[in-house]
Chain A
Amino acid sequence: EAQVTQNPRYLITVTGKKLTVTCSQNMNHEYMSWYRQDPGLGLRQIYYSMNVEVTDKGDVPEGYKVSRKEKRNFPLILESPSPNQTSLYFCASSTRTGGNYGYTFGSGTRLTVV
C-alpha cells in the first residue's frame, strides 16, 4: 500500500530534550515536506526537500532541522524543543515538484513539550 509513515503518533517530552520524528514513504517520491498544524493557523510548512541532499526552509523553520540522506526518509529533528513547538506535525510527499500534484500525508505526530 502506498503510504507515508510517521513515528511516533504521540510524543510527550520535556523542554530541551532532543527528539526526532521519523517519516518514510514507499512511493519513490522526490518531494517531501513537513507541516505543523495549529488551531486557527492552519497548516504551515516547516521544511521541504526536492530530492536527496536537497532541503530548504519553509515558512516556520526556526527550531527545526531536517535531513534527506535517502529518498524514502525525511526525519524532522528538534534539537532543543520548547513549549511553543507543541503541535500536530505532518509529513507529506509528492511526485516531482511540490505543488503540481497532490500530496500524500502521513497520519500525524502529536507532540507536547512541557
Chain B
Amino acid sequence: SQQGEEDPQALSIQEGENATMNCSYKTSINNLQWYRQNSGRGLVHLILIRSNEREKHSGRLRVTLDTSKKSSSLLITASRAADTASYFCATHTGTASKLTFGTGTRLQVTL
C-alpha cells in the first residue's frame, strides 16, 4: 500500500535551474523522508522532516511540510548534472515498523 505519491513522475531541467518535486500522502505521519536513487542503485537518505517541523534545509536541498494539506516538497537549487536520479518520499506513520515509499520522481538535469 502506497502512502506517498510524488509529482511530477518525471522532470527535465537544465543545469543551474531549480527542481521542485512534490509528495502527497494520505494519513497522519510521524515524519517524512526524502531519498535519492541513482539508476538501479541503492537509495540514499537525503533529509528527514518531523511532523512538527515546517521547513528544513540541507545544503542545496530545501524541504517543506504542510500537514494540513498532507503534502511535502523537495527543492533542489542550482541543479547539477550529478543530481540526475530518482527521488522518493517515504513516510513513517503511527507505530508502524517501516517506511512507506512512493513511486518516485525521475529528475534529468542536462548540461
Contact = CB atoms under 8 A, between A and B. Distances in A.
Interface of A: 4, 31, 33, 35, 40-43, 45, 48, 50, 56, 58-59, 88, 90, 92, 97-108, 110
A107 to B, nearest CB: 5
Q: What secondary structure prevails in chain B residues at the interface with A?
A: loop
A101 to B, nearest CB: 7
Contacts of B102: 42
A74 B2 CA distance: 25
Contacts of B97: 31, 48, 50, 56, 97-99
A45 B98 contact: yes
A31 B93 CA distance: 16
A99 B4 CA distance: 14
Given A59-B1, A99-B92, A104-B45, A110 B40 contact: yes
B92 A42 contact: no
B40 A88 contact: yes
